[in-house]
């Protein structure tokens, strides 16, 4: 998430009640997760397992709960007892929750010849391009960006909160929501089927590329980036922060693990489970998804087991 303006270290420190170490005179551009950070971003870390990764990331500003570190040159450290709570303070300050009394927010931008049917909800700072059709009972939540010639079928929710929680078993309630301040971007000529759900990015964007088509009842997790001209059939579920490259086809009920990559023009056959990254230009099947031709041979041999057993045992 980018801040509306550059924000000085002293203002951030005051907001989260932090002690500033390292470079004290600097301006932050925004806040992001570790796998999405850019130069000028704030990132938080609260577990020793990830200290090194965060300190050596592209983040310029790091919220951390220890002083027992070597501060990389040019970086600013915000020392606090609870980095996750500091993250939430920043998110709530720069992107606070706002209730809405009308179905379509007054600040929505809607392009020429776009049709918005009855019972559609459109939230805060949404942008919709030209020649789009939004069918009844669609919910388009805050900061969503929709290109031109996009179709969204009934019952779909665009921009719901990420299924993303900070876990501490010392708390009475173990799982605390990491509030989402990212958004969803639907590029030109995207079509979304009925009753789909697309989660917003936690701090960045969930992106559906130009020309991609989703069937009914598809779920896309937070921060997932789907390329151009992909085809995704009914009941596919894609977990967060996954990359699906251009031209990929996922047939019905395929499940895709988080933080992996499916290569360009790959085809994954129905009911397969993608647990690891897949190369492009191949057909996959099974759980875990593997080269479909090899998987079919395995199935043939499995069917022959009783016959082979009978021969061995006489």
> Along the 314 residues of the chain, how does pLDDT read in single tens digits?
999 999 999 999 999 999 999 999 999 999 999 888 999 999 999 999 999 999 999 999 999 999 999 999 999 999 999 999 999 999 999 999 889 989 999 999 999 999 999 999 999 999 999 999 999 999 999 999 999 999 999 999 999 999 999 888 888 999 999 999 999 999 999 999 999 999 999 999 999 999 999 999 999 999 999 999 999 999 999 999 999 999 999 999 999 999 999 999 999 999 999 999 999 999 999 999 999 999 888 888 888 888 888 878 76
Q: Is the peptide bond before 117 cis (omega within 30 degrees of 0)?
A: no
Do 272 and 151 have their domain in common? Answer: yes
Specify the CATH number for the domain of residue 251: 2.160.10.10
Specify if 89 maps to a domain.
yes
Specify if 148 maps to a domain.
yes
Q: What is the pLDDT of residue 183?
A: 97
Do 39 and 9 have their domain in common? Answer: yes
Specify if 204 maps to a domain.
yes
Judge contact between 74 and 90, C-beta under 8 A: no
Tokens of 151: 């179709």
Domain count, the chain: 2
Q: Is 222 a catalytic residue?
A: yes
d(C-alpha 110, C-alpha 203), whole Å: 24
Q: Containing domain of residue 170, as a range? A: 109-296
Q: What is the pLDDT of residue 314?
A: 66
Tell me the backbone φ, ψ of residue 157, rounded to 5 degrees: -120, 120
Q: What is the pLDDT of residue 300?
A: 87
Specify if 154 maps to a domain.
yes
Give the rounded distance of the alpha carbon of 216 from its chain centre: 19
Ramachandran bin of 137, using left for φ above 0, alpha for ψ from -120 to 50, beta for the remaining angles: left
Helices (H), the chain: 9-16, 51-55, 83-94, 292-303, 305-313
Do 77 and 124 have their domain in common? Answer: no
Judge contact between 283 and 263, C-beta under 8 A: no
Residues whose CB falls within 8 Å of the CB of residue 87, separated by 6 or more in sequence, listed in order: 31, 44, 63, 178
Tokens of 146: 């929709």
Among residues 47, 92, 102, 222, the one annotated as catalytic is: 222
d(C-alpha 232, C-alpha 279), whole Å: 18
d(C-alpha 239, C-alpha 156), whole Å: 18
Per the DSSP assignment, residues forming a β-bridge with 121 are 139
Do 198 and 262 have their domain in common? Answer: yes
Specify if 173 maps to a domain.
yes
Do 197 and 230 have their domain in common? Answer: yes
Do 71 and 154 have their domain in common? Answer: no
Helix then strand then coil, in percent of the chain rounded to 5, is 15, 30, 55
Which of residues 66, 94, 122 is at a domain's end?
A: 94
């Amino acid at each position: 998430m980018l801040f509306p303006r550059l924000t000085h270290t002293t203002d951030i420190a005051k907001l989260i009640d932090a002690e500033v170490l390292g470079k004290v005179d600097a301006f932050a551009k925004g806040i992001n997760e570790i796998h999405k950070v850019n130069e000028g971003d704030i990132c938080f870390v609260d577990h020793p397992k990830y200290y090194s990764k965060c300190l050596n990331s592209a983040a310029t500003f790091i919220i951390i709960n220890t002083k027992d570190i070597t501060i990389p040159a040019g970086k600013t450290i915000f020392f606090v007892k609870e980095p996750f709570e500091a993250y939430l303070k920043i998110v709530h300050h720069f992107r606070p929750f706002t209730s809405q009394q009308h179905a379509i927010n007054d600040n929505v931008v809607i392009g020429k010849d776009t049709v918005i049917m009855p019972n559609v909800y459109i939230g805060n700072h949404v942008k919709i391009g030209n020649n789009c059709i939004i069918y009844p009972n669609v919910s388009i939540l805050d900061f969503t960006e929709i290109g031109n010639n996009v179709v969204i079928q009934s019952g779909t929710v665009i921009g719901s909160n990420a299924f993303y929680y900070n876990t501490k078993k010392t708390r009475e309630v173990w799982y605390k929501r990491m509030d989402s301040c990212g958004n969803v971007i639907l590029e030109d000529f995207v079509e979304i089927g009925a009753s789909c759900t697309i989660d917003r990015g936690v701090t960045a964007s969930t992106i559906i590329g130009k020309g991609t088509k989703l069937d009914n009842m598809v779920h896309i997790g937070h921060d997932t980036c789907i390329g151009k001209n992909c085809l995704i059939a009914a009941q596919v579920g894609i977990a967060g922060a996954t990359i699906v490259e251009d031209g990929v086809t996922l047939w019905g009920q395929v499940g895709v693990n988080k933080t992996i990559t499916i290569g360009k023009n790959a085809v994954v056959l129905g009911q397969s489970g993608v647990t690891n990254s897949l190369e492009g230009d191949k057909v996959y099947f099974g759980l875990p998804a593997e080269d479909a031709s090899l998987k079919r041979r395995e199935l043939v041999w499995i069917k022959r087991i009783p016959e082979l057993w009978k021969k061995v045992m006489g």
